[in-house]
Amino acid sequence: MSNSNIQIFDTTLRDGEQVPGCKLNTEQKVVIAKQLENLGVDVIEAGFPVSSPGDFKSVEEISKIIKNATVCGLTRSVKNDIKVAAEALKYAKRPRIHTGIGTSDSHIQFKFKSNREDILQRAYDAVKYAKSFVEDVEFYAEDAGRTDNDYLARVCEVAIKAGATVLNIPDTTGYCLPSEYGAKMKYLMENVKGIEKAILSCHCHNDLGLATANSIEGVINGARQIECTINGIGERAGNTALEEVVMILKQHPYLNLDTNINTQYLYGISQLVSDSMAIYTQPNKAIVGANAFAHSSGIHQDGVIKNRETYEIIDPKDVGVTESAIVLTARSGRAALAYRAKNIGYELTKLQLDDIYANFLNFADQKKEIDDTDIHHIIETSKVYKEIISA
Ligand code: KIV
Ligand code: ZN
């Protein structure tokens, strides 16, 4: 792995699947896991094996079929969780145990009714025990976003001492500003003894709509893994959206950070996840929403028809969308109407277009969106129809 390579850790099947009502069965999880592997993710977090027999089975089945990606199972810092995860991962070619504990004062005081020294010991013991089963152990400091940096650095040091290969710094509550999250990563890169033995990982939640921005700041400041989900699904407001961070790094090559993702599969897998979980993707969702490459105002349509790049920073084909859409509404102009009419076989002169455009506006004021059948109707009922078909 070169120093500019950002590992993509997909947690659609674990953190993503925590969305209420979106539970998947093992067969559905296996289908998604195979597509994640084709997409080129580096790590698939397949589940939380101790949580239910179904999740155990899913992790086990995914471990059997995945050949190139690392397969990961989540645990708490509890011996039995770790033992069960190791068992579920026993067929994996590249198994990883993801263990950890809450490190913010609020988690230590209210969740564990404990103290900082005890948490350090529990973190050490969990990683050490996980290491007795697998080489690759990722440690998460839950609520790291609200953990003070000095203490977080000590937690990271003990996890490294116990053998952690990856240190996950979750902004569990989606609280951090990008500048704070970036500064946290920089602080850890500069202050954790032994940091060269592990990589830092970004795990951001979207409660304030900052998950993607925070993850990007994290990698700019030294992290080398991003944890994310397809379509940004996940607890509450969701996780970092995989398609967003991947395309940000691709569209900004001067950052000199790249991923192993085959971006042409992004749209397909977005549809697969949304269909399997019956969770609708908002139309204006970046990269994969239905309107991400649709243009409906006259000014934008005129520009895009002349040259796509006037209003698009991504070629839709790069993310698996066949082409940009010119959507006809009452806000559309002549250029868009002529373009869509041409697509269905009408080559209109300027005068014919003027006549038809007036009909079109009347029609479009009644209807939200004009489709190809409507265009045929508008043209066939126009004064210039005979002229058009005899040309
Ligand atoms: O958000 C979080 O802190 C998590 C951890 C369990 C990794 O999902
Ligand atoms: Zn999470």
Average pLDDT on 43-60 reads 98
Ligand nearest to C-alpha 173 = 1
Query: Which residue's alpha carbon is nearest to atom 1 within ligand 1?
Result: 172
- Which ligand 1 atom is the nearest neighbour of the CA of 143? 3
Q: Which of 191, 117, 177, 105 is nearest to 142 (CA)?
A: 105
| Centroid of ligand 2 to alpha carbon of 143 (angstroms) | 9
Residue 5: strand pairing partners: 258
CA of 274 to the centre of ligand 2 (A): 19
Ligand nearest to the CA of 146: 1
What mean pLDDT do residues 20-42 have? 96
Q: List strand residue ranges (DSSP E) for 33-192, in order.
A: 43-47, 70-74, 95-102, 136-142, 166-171
- Count of C-beta atoms within a 10 Å radius of residue 292: 21
Rounded CA gap, 200 and 215, in Å?
Answer: 11
Closest ligand 1 atom to the C-alpha of 98?
7
* Residue whose CA lies nearest to ligand 1 atom number 7: 140
Closest-lying ligand 1 atom to the alpha carbon of residue 142? 3
The residues whose Cβ lies within 5 A of ligand 2, an ion, are 15
In the chain, beta strands by DSSP E: 7-10, 43-47, 70-74, 95-102, 136-142, 166-171, 199-204, 225-228, 294-295, 325-326
In ligand 1, the atom with minimum distance to the C-alpha of 168 is: 7
- Which two three-digit tokens encode residue 366? 């009644």
Query: Is it the case that residue 21 has pLDDT exceeding 70?
Result: yes
Confidence band of 389 (pLDDT split at 50, 70, 90): confident
Protein residue closest via CA to atom 8 of ligand 1:
15
CA pair distance 96, 137, nearest whole angstrom: 6
In which residue are the tokens 């290969």 written?
A: 165
The alpha carbon of 206 and the centre of ligand 2 are apart by a number of angstroms equal to 10
Query: How much is the mean pLDDT over the chain?
Result: 97
In sign, the C-alpha dihedral spanning 123, 127, 128, 129 is positive
How far away, in angstroms, is 204 Cα from ligand 2 center? 7
Instruction: State the pLDDT confidence band at 31, using cuts at 50, 70 and 90.
Output: very high
d(CA 280, CA 274): 6
pLDDT for position 20: 87
pLDDT beyond 90 at 3: no
User: Percentage of residues in the chain with pLDDT exceeding 90?
Assistant: 97
pLDDT(2) > 80: no
Contacts of 280 (CB under 8 A, 6+ apart): 274
pLDDT tens per residue across span 95-142: 999 999 999 999 999 999 999 999 999 999 999 999 999 999 999 999
Going from the C-alpha of 244 to that of each of 211, 212, 255, 387, the distances in angstroms are 10, 7, 15, 49
Ligand 1 atom 2: residue of nearest CA: 172
Structure tokens belonging to residue 183: 């500064």
Q: How far is the CA of 172 from the centre of ligand 1 (A)?
A: 6
CA of 283 to the centre of ligand 2 (A): 24
Q: Mutual orientation of helices 242-251 and 266-277 as an angle, nearest 10°?
A: 170
Determine the Cα–Cα distance for residues 358 and 381; give it in Å rounded to an integer.
12
How far is the centre of ligand 2, averaged over its atoms, from the C-alpha of 139 (Å)? 13
Counting every residue written for the chain, the total comes to: 391
CA-to-CA distance for 327 and 315, rounded, in angstroms? 18
Residue type, 360: F
Asked whether the predicted pLDDT for residue 180 surpasses 80, the reply is yes
Q: Which of 19, 140, 143, 155 to mutate to test the pocket of ligand 1 (most atoms within 8 A of CB)?
A: 140
**Is the predicted pLDDT of residue 288 greater than 90, yes or no?**
yes
Q: Contact 39/265 with Cβ under 8 angstroms?
A: yes
Q: Which ligand places an atom closest to the C-alpha of 240?
A: 2
> Rounded mean pLDDT of 266-294?
97
Residue 1: pLDDT band with limits 50, 70, 90: low
Which numbered atom of ligand 1 lies nearest the CA of 170? 3
Q: How confident is the model at residue 383 (pLDDT cuts 50, 70, 90)?
A: very high
CA of 146 to the centre of ligand 1 (A): 13
How far lies 141's CA from each of 155, 222, 245, 347, in Å? Answer: 8, 17, 22, 63
Ligand positioned closest to the Cα atom of 170: 1
Which residues' Cβ are closer than 6 Å to ligand 1?
Answer: 15, 140, 142, 168, 170, 172, 203, 205
**For 27, how many CA atoms within 13 A lie in the half-sphere containing its CB?**
0
Contacts 24+ apart (CB under 8 A), 152-155: 152/103, 152/184, 152/188, 153/187, 153/188, 153/191, 153/192, 154/120, 155/103, 155/119, 155/120, 155/123
Cβ 171 vs Cβ 133: under 8 Å: no
**257: number of Cβ within 10 Å:** 20
- The best mutation among 51, 152, 203, 206 to test binding of ligand 1, ranked by most ligand atoms within 8 Å of the C-beta, falls on 203
